[in-house]
């Protein structure tokens, strides 16, 4: 992955003073995931350009973590190549002083608006051209996008692009914009996101993020859709705006607010509970349990003997534990509900005894190139008697008045399938892993567009 910053300010070689990197040297930094180099392809009076190049070790990313299990796609993916949080880490490692706006030799220049140009390639297009412009244009940058490996002139449908930003601004501002917004475009940080990430966001976003019209989206995606952390960040950025919101609104994710008039969230959980009941299962694993809303319903059912809730977000599990009153007077008996911190991309024997596995509105949050791994873990390795999957019906999106054409119900969705696409996926799973699938809709059925949610019940 590649990032360059250039200026035509004269003398342009002053860029070296601002970056604290001499144009005649090759600068190298060792990182936990590989190496980074900074060098100057051009260094003249009229124009000077500094380039940051990353060489990431794809094998080193998984070595010693007990997660490869011989699966090729643990090694063969876009993480070593596409701009992501790796690039932000390298940027902060190489140019921390420049990002702070400090220049011992040229402080007045560091405080001035300069003609600047930045290039990032390849940039993930998870959100499309509209999202890229929504992020950078309000900050005053002119955006030029060129699709990579495109067969036509349109950017629609392409996963990666060549991004060029240009305009007048402080170098420190440009670097901080890139640091925050590159992971927002990728939405898949390579390291654990905790409370310290809120501090990073506030530090690098100070002075501009609080005024950005997409600040809620930026906070949410930067913090990997961990709603609790995003709300904490926004509360500190814009405390008066956060205080004006009602607690219910701040807790509800975008798709729940969109679907609220048809009570789809409640109807979805009702349908899933009934499907579990009809399966005859007694031990249930809620994979991607979030705040534990489904678990809260199931724990009240006497026919459920044991529950597991799995989620990658510690804060979500903490909220689930509070909702379920675990280890409290009046809560479920010890051992009936077990919350697990983990990921669906790793084999996990802790919930292997479950005879029913449930993924409620989970798969659409996964990159489609990661989905086969989850399929193998759930249907191939764990192989419970019953697997229940719900996901949005993209056909029905045309009926939501508040949803733009072609948009997803949630900004973190990586895809939303039509009924035909979902049917094809269930057929593939059934054939590959020896399951039979029954597909149904949840919510009011439209004659042309079907129900808003589609559900598949797989029986081994």
pLDDT digit string, tens, across residues 187-231:
555 555 667 788 888 889 988 998 888 888 898 888 876 767 777
Domain limits for position 376: 257-459
* CATH, residue 312: 3.40.50.150
Q: Is residue 105 part of a domain?
A: yes
Q: Is the same domain home to 332 and 184?
A: no
Q: Is the same domain home to 131 and 267?
A: no
Rounded Cα distance between 423 and 419, Å, is 6
Q: Is the same domain home to 442 and 297?
A: yes
Q: Is the same domain home to 302 and 433?
A: yes
Phi, psi of 25 (to 5 degrees): -120, 155
In DSSP terms, which residues pair with 386 in a beta bridge? 356, 459
Residue 63: its pLDDT value, please? 56
pLDDT at 100 over 70: yes
Place of tokens 């349109």: 154
| Mean pLDDT, rounded, for 279-285 | 96
What contacts 302, CB < 8 A, 6 or more positions away?
none
Q: Is residue 404 part of a domain?
A: yes
Q: Are strands 283-287 and 142-147 parallel, antiparallel or unpaired?
A: unpaired
Contact 369, 73 (CB under 8 A): yes
* CATH, residue 106: 3.30.1610.20
Residue 313: its pLDDT value, please? 80
Domain boundary residue, one of 191, 220, 249: 191
- Residue 450 DSSP one-character state: B
Q: Is the same domain home to 262 and 175?
A: no
Tell me the range of 150-159, 251-260, 340-349 where mean pLDDT is highest. 340-349
Rounded Cα distance between 393 and 414, Å, is 14
What contacts 292, CB < 8 A, 6 or more positions away?
286, 309, 319, 320, 321, 323, 324, 339
Contact 43, 21 (CB under 8 A): no
Q: Is the same domain home to 317 and 179?
A: no
pLDDT at 143 over 90: yes
Q: Is residue 111 part of a domain?
A: yes
pLDDT at 377 over 70: yes
Domain boundary residue, one of 174, 191, 208: 191
Contact 125, 161 (CB under 8 A): yes
What pLDDT, in 10s, does the model give residues 240-279?
A: 444 334 344 344 555 555 555 546 888 999 999 999 999 9
Rounded Cα distance between 16 and 50, Å, is 8
Query: pLDDT band at 86, cuts 50/70/90?
Result: confident
| Mean pLDDT, rounded, for 312-321 | 85
Q: From its phi and psi, is residue 450 left (phi > 0), alpha (psi between -120 and 50) or beta? A: left
Residue 184's closest CA among 207, 195, 200? 200
What pLDDT, in 10s, does the model give residues 388-422?
A: 999 999 999 888 877 778 788 887 788 999 999 99
Residue 244's closest CA among 235, 232, 256, 233? 235
Query: pLDDT band at 62, cuts 50/70/90?
Result: low
Question: Could you give the number of structural domains in the chain?
Answer: 2
Q: Is the same domain home to 139 and 261?
A: no
Q: Is the same domain home to 73 and 186?
A: yes
Mean pLDDT taken over the chain: 85
pLDDT at 150 over 60: no
Record the tokens describing residue 54, joined without a space.
């990353």
pLDDT at 179 over 60: yes
Q: Is the same domain home to 262 and 186?
A: no
Q: Is the same domain home to 301 and 395?
A: yes
Rounded Cα distance between 110 and 118, Å, is 17
With residue 454 as reference, give the H or E element that holds it: strand 453-459
Q: Is residue 152 part of a domain?
A: yes
pTM over 0.85: no
Q: Is the same domain home to 416 and 322?
A: yes
Q: Is residue 220 part of a domain?
A: no
Residue 152: its pLDDT value, please? 45
Helix axes 227-237, 215-222, angle to 10 degrees: 140
Residue 401: its pLDDT value, please? 76
Q: Is the same domain home to 147 and 10?
A: yes
Q: Is residue 234 part of a domain?
A: no
Contact 303, 282 (CB under 8 A): yes
Residue 160: its pLDDT value, please? 83
Residue 239: its pLDDT value, please? 55
pLDDT over 90, % of the chain: 53
Record the tokens describing residue 314, joined without a space.
């510690």
Q: Is residue 131 part of a domain?
A: yes
H-helix segments, 25-151:
85-99, 107-110, 128-136
Least confident range from 22-26, 154-158, 187-191, 430-434: namely 154-158
Residue 241: its pLDDT value, please? 43
Burial of 26 (0-12, 13-18, 19+ CB in 10 A): exposed
Q: Is residue 245 part of a domain?
A: no
Domain boundary residue, one of 191, 210, 230: 191
H-helix segments, 223-263:
227-237, 239-244, 247-251, 254-259
What contacts 429, CB < 8 A, 6 or more positions away?
375, 379, 435, 437, 458
Least confident range from 34-48, 281-295, 308-322, 379-393: namely 308-322
Rounded Cα distance between 187 and 313, Å, is 15
Residue 242: its pLDDT value, please? 41
In DSSP terms, which residues pair with 311 in a beta bridge? 341
Taking every pair of C-alpha atoms in the chain, what is the biggest distance, in angstroms?
Answer: 78
């Amino acid at each position: 992955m590649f990032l360059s910053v250039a200026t035509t300010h004269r003398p342009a070689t002053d860029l070296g003073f601002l970056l604290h990197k001499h144009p005649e040297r090759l600068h190298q930094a060792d990182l936990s995931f590989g190496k980074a180099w900074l060098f100057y392809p051009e260094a003249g009076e009229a124009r000077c350009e500094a380039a940051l190049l990353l060489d990431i070790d794809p094998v080193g990313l998984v070595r010693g973590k007990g997660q490869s299990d011989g699966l090729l796609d643990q090694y063969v993916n876009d993480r070593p190549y596409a701009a992501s949080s790796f690039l932000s880490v390298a940027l902060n490692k190489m140019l921390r002083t420049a990002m702070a706006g400090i220049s011992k030799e040229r402080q007045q220049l560091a405080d001035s608006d300069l003609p600047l140009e930045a290039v990032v390639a390849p940039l993930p297009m998870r959100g499309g051209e509209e999202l890229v412009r929504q992020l950078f244009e309000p900050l005053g940058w002119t955006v030029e996008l060129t699709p990579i490996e495109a067969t036509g002139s349109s950017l629609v449908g392409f996963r990666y692009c060549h991004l060029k930003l240009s305009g007048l601004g402080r170098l420190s501002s440009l670097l901080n914009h890139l640091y925050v917004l590159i992971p927002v475009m990728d939405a898949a940080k390579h390291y654990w996101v905790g409370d310290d990430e809120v501090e990073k966001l506030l530090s690098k976003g100070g002075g501009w993020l609080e005024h950005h019209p997409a600040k809620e989206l930026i906070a949410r995606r930067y913090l990997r859709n961990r709603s609790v952390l995003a709300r904490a960040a926004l509360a500190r950025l814009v405390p008066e705006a956060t205080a004006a919101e009602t607690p219910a609104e701040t807790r509800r994710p975008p798709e729940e607010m969109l679907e609220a008039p048809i009570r789809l969230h409640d109807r979805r959980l009702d349908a899933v509970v009934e499907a579990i009941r009809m399966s005859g299962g007694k031990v249930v694993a809620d994979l991607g349990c979030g705040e534990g809303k489904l678990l809260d319903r199931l724990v009240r059912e006497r026919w459920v003997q044991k529950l597991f809730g799995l989620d990658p977000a510690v804060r979500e599990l903490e909220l689930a534990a509070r909702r379920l009153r675990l280890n409290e007077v009046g809560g479920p008996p010890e051992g009936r509900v077990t919350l697990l911190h983990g990921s669906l991309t790793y084999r996990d024997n802790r919930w292997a005894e479950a005879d029913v596995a449930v993924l409620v509105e989970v798969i659409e949050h996964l990159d489609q190139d990661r989905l086969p791994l989850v399929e193998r873990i759930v249907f191939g390795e764990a192989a419970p008697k019953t697997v229940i999957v719900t996901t949005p019906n993209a056909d029905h999106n045309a009926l939501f008045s508040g949803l733009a054409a072609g948009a997803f119900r949630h900004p973190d969705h990586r895809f939303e399938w039509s009924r035909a696409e979902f049917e094809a996926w269930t057929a593939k799973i059934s054939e590959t892993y020896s399951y039979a699938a029954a597909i149904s809709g949840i919510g009011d059925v439209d004659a042309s567009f079907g129900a808003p949610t589609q559900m598949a019940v797989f029986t081994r």
